[in-house]
Amino acid sequence: MAVTELLHISGEWHIKYNYTAGKIASRFLAELRDNKRIVGTRCDKCKKVYVPPRGFCEECFVPATEWVEVDNVGEIYSFTFGPRKLSAGLPEPFIIAYVRLNGADTCIANFVKDIDMSDLNKLKEELFVGKKVQVKYEVKRKGLITDFYFCPYE
């Protein structure tokens, strides 16, 4: 008896998580939420300031214990943008940039907003590597990375 039909079986993973931020990231996120400021940690040995902060310097493999507040102004090191959604959560259109805030030795990523994306030719004047940007805090903050975003420096 020949079977010519090829079947498929539906399935889904529903998995909820309660991710542990740990004491370092918890401080960073709480500072965003409660004090509207961005903090990093400094390596005990090489003195690099990591934003976002970590407990350990990966290059020296020693603790990074000193907390440092960094500026709300910085520079775009790289970016990407899309005219339409790539996945369910992305805004449409979107701009994501890695920014080095003054005082930090590493770049932190976030969305860039308040830039007119309707004319892609004009966008090159508004969005470029080296562009000065500033941090803007959301009115309602939840202790998440999205409590802030970048916008052009005024």
Interface positions with another protein (CB under 8 A): 6, 8, 11, 13, 17, 19, 21-22, 25, 29, 50-52, 58, 77-83, 86-90, 94, 96, 98, 106-111, 128-130, 144-146
CB nearer another protein, residue 68 or residue 96: 96
CB nearer another protein, residue 82 or residue 152: 82
Instruction: State in angstroms the smallest separation of the CB of 79 from another protein.
Output: 6
CB nearer another protein, residue 36 or residue 100: 100
Instruction: State in angstroms the smallest separation of the CB of 13 from another protein.
Output: 7
DSSP state string for the chain:
---------------------HHHHHHHHHIIIII--EEEEEETTT-PEESS--SEETTTTEEEEEEEEE-SEEEEEEEEEESS-SSTTS-SSEEEEEEEETT-SS-EEEEB-S---S-HHHHHHHS-TT-EEEEEE-SS--SSGGGEEEEE--
